[in-house]
């Protein structure tokens, strides 16, 4: 049986954010096929894909419709059957333009001939299959999984961490994955243990999710003696990679280094389950479980959505938005991205859609820094957010470098605790952009 252990070790700093996990008991409901989907060619960290289809083409479910020849990228597949009506230009969350394939659906959901259970006989073939599945980090990061799993020869991985912490307020999509799909998680773990040749797997779950801990730690399966569920202290941002690795193993990932530099790979729990499903069916990544919540949503829910579905359709499926909606966020309230249009589509790494009314979205006025030091105490990366804020606002590149702006994981803990309500994380993002620009 998978064993359970409790760790008292936790990272320094962070914030005690309110949980707001109102959808924890909402079993996932499948949303139907929308009238149209808009499938962006950039849904991951890395190079955008080029559309492989043109206006007028008929496409089927699972068909490859976008690809890049760059290594850090992930192919894009159609989530529906229907006719391509346009190749449009969209603005990504990072502000860059990207192409997107617009498809009018026919409701038949005809599956493409290429979709069949894959066969592989080597690690290299499995890695290539994972690449072809279009999988990216489903916890929100969107990093191409095949790149993460390609371990250089000079690195040795001895621990696989499966991230089920889900520390952001509101989001319960990974929690529902554990409750509804625990067998796929364990099957995925076995596939990855084989691929990475690791002898130890740790599944991290915060102690505010006792049901998820109970379900996973009572499973009997192949290799269960090598798998532990680790009960973590509930504290934001426990699910951030570097924090999670420290809490679960005591290993510290140095600034500028990767988890694999300390022998660890971290995979989101839904990504692991997807790998098991893909190996069984060959259906690439075309759908996503999304938590739909927030004070301006009429019927909060966990919804299985086809990728490319316009946000407005998802909200309408959840009873629509209340009249006074003022802000839509894709992702959690701490690290998510505000959306400018309800016509924007659900992406591969969309784990939540939150809608806030004018009252709850209102930002308190910013006042002068009172040098209380609370932001520095809260920073899990040991940074000095007040100085990063100052240097970003003064556009002082040398100051940004001196205070290690690029080490910021943009968790927002500093902004959350600041009594002066300084827009710390926003200015730090600006500072990073300034530094990147000065380097280019
Ligand atoms: S400086 Fe960055 S890493 Fe530190 S608390 Fe603020 S947002 Fe998080
Ligand atoms: S928490 Fe806010 S007020 Fe306090 S030192 Fe940091 S920026 Fe200044």
Residue-wise pLDDT tens digits, 85-137: 999 998 877 677 889 999 999 999 999 999 999 999 999 999 999 999 999 99
Taking each helix axis from N to C end, the angle separating 385-393 and 424-439, rounded to the nearest 10 degrees, works out to 60
Rounded distance, CA 170 to CA 23, Å? 7
Residue of 351, 346, 352 whose CA lies nearest to 80? 346
Please report which ligand is nearest the Cα atom of 379: 1
Residue-wise pLDDT tens digits, 154-163: 999 999 999 9
Half-sphere exposure of 64 (CA within 13 A, CB side): 15
In this structure, which residue's CA is closest to atom 6 in ligand 2? Answer: 375
Q: Is 106 in the pocket of ligand 1 (CB under 6 A)?
A: no
Please tell me the distance between residue 432's alpha carbon and the centre of ligand 2 in angstroms.
Answer: 20
Please tell me the distance between residue 268's alpha carbon and the centre of ligand 1 in angstroms.
Answer: 22
Closest ligand 2 atom, CA of 378? 1
Task: Please report the pLDDT score of residue 340 as a whole number.
Answer: 87
Please report which ligand is nearest the Cα atom of 388: 1
In this structure, which residue's CA is closest to atom 3 in ligand 1? Answer: 408
Sheet (strand 82-91) strand order: 36-40, 97-105, 82-91, 58-59
Tell me: pLDDT of 363 over 90: no
Q: 3-25+118-281 in CATH: which number?
A: 3.40.50.11540
The DSSP result for 246-257, as a single string, is HHHH-----TT-
Q: Is 372 in the pocket of ligand 2 (CB under 6 A)?
A: yes
Task: Please report the pLDDT score of residue 2 as a whole number.
Answer: 87
Using DSSP's 3-state secondary structure scheme, residue 402 falls into helix
Average pLDDT of the chain, as a whole number: 95
Q: Are 336 and 290 in contact (CB under 8 A)?
A: no
**Left, alpha or beta for 166 (phi > 0: left; psi -120 to 50: alpha)?**
left
Taking each helix axis from N to C end, the angle separating 173-196 and 123-132, rounded to the nearest 10 degrees, works out to 150
Kindly indicate the confidence band of residue 412, based on its pLDDT and cuts at 50, 70 and 90: very high
In the block, residue with structure tokens 């309230």: 333
- For CATH 3.40.50.11540, the residue range(s) in the chain are 3-25+118-281
Q: Is 373 in the pocket of ligand 2 (CB under 6 A)?
A: yes
Please tell me the distance between residue 45's alpha carbon and the centre of ligand 1 in angstroms.
Answer: 21
In the block, residue with structure tokens 């499903």: 277
Rounded distance, CA 332 to CA 329, Å? 7
Rounded distance, CA 159 to CA 249, Å? 9
Residue-wise pLDDT tens digits, 234-287: 999 999 999 999 999 999 999 889 999 999 999 999 999 999 999 999 999 999
Q: Are 159 and 11 in contact (CB under 8 A)?
A: no
Mean pLDDT over residues 331-353, rounded?
A: 94
In this structure, which residue's CA is closest to atom 8 in ligand 2? Answer: 369
Q: Give percent of the chain above pLDDT 70.
A: 100
Q: Is 141 in the pocket of ligand 2 (CB under 6 A)?
A: no
In this structure, which residue's CA is closest to atom 6 in ligand 1? Answer: 414
Q: Is 386 in the pocket of ligand 2 (CB under 6 A)?
A: yes
Taking each helix axis from N to C end, the angle separating 269-281 and 173-196, rounded to the nearest 10 degrees, works out to 70
Tell me: pLDDT of 22 over 90: yes
Task: Please report the pLDDT score of residue 139 as a whole number.
Answer: 84
Residue of 6, 304, 40, 264 whose CA lies nearest to 156? 264
Closest ligand 1 atom, CA of 375? 5
Kindly indicate the confidence band of residue 360, based on its pLDDT and cuts at 50, 70 and 90: confident
Closest ligand 1 atom, CA of 424? 6
pTM: 0.94
Residue 219: alpha-carbon gap to chain centroid:
26
Please tell me the distance between residue 360's alpha carbon and the centre of ligand 1 in angstroms.
Answer: 23
Mean pLDDT over residues 402-431, rounded?
A: 96
Please report which ligand is nearest the Cα atom of 410: 1
């Amino acid at each position: 049986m998978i064993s359970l252990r409790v760790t008292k070790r936790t990272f320094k700093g962070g914030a005690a954010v309110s949980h707001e996990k109102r959808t924890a008991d909402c079993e996932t409901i499948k949303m139907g096929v929308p009238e149209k989907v808009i499938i962006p060619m950039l849904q991951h960290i890395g190079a955008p894909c080029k559309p492989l289809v043109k206006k007028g083409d008929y496409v089927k479910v699972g068909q490859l419709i976008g690809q890049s020849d760059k290594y850090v990228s992930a192919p894009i597949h159609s989530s529906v059957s229907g006719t391509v009506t346009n190749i449009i230009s969209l603005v990504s969350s990072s502000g860059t333009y990207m192409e997107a394939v617009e498809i009018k659906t026919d409701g038949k959901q005809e599956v493409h001939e290429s979709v069949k259970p894959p066969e592989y006989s080597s690690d290299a073939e499995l890695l290539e299959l994972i690449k072809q599945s279009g999988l990216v980090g489903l916890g929100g990061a969107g990093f191409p999984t095949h790149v993460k799993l390609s371990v250089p020869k000079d690195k040795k991985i001895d621990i696989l961490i499966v991230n089920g912490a889900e520390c952001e307020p509101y989001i319960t999509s990974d929690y529902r994955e554990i409750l509804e799909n625990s067998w796929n998680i364990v099957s995925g773990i076995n596939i990855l243990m084989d691929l990475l040749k690791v002898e130890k797997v740790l599944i991290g779950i915060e102690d505010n999710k006792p049901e998820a801990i109970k379900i996973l730690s009572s499973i009997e399966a192949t290799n269960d003696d090598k798998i532990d569920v680790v009960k973590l202290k509930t504290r934001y941002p426990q699910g951030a990679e570097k924090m999670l690795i420290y809490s679960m193993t005591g290993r510290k990932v140095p600034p500028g280094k990767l988890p694999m530099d300390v022998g660890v790979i971290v995979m989101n729990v839904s990504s692991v389950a997807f790998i098991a499903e893909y190996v069984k069916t060959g259906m690439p990544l075309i759908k996503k479980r999304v938590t739909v919540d927030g004070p301006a949503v009429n019927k909060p829910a966990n919804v299985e959505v086809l990728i490319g579905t316009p946000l407005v359709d998802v909200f309408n499926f959840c009873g629509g938005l209340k009249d006074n909606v003022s802000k839509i966020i894709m992702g959690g309230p701490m690290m998510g991205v505000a959306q400018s249009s309800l016509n924007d589509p659900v992406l591969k790494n969309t784990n939540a859609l939150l809608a806030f009314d004018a009252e709850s979205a209102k930002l308190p006025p910013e006042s002068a820094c009172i040098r209380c030091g609370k932001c520095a105490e809260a920073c899990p990366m040991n940074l000095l957010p007040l100085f990063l804020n100052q240097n970003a606002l003064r556009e002082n590149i040398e100051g940004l470098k001196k205070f290690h702006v690029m080490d910021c994981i943009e968790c927002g803990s500093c902004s959350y605790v600041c009594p002066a309500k300084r827009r710390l994380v926003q200015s730090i993002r600006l500072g990073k952009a300034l530094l990147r620009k000065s380097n280019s």
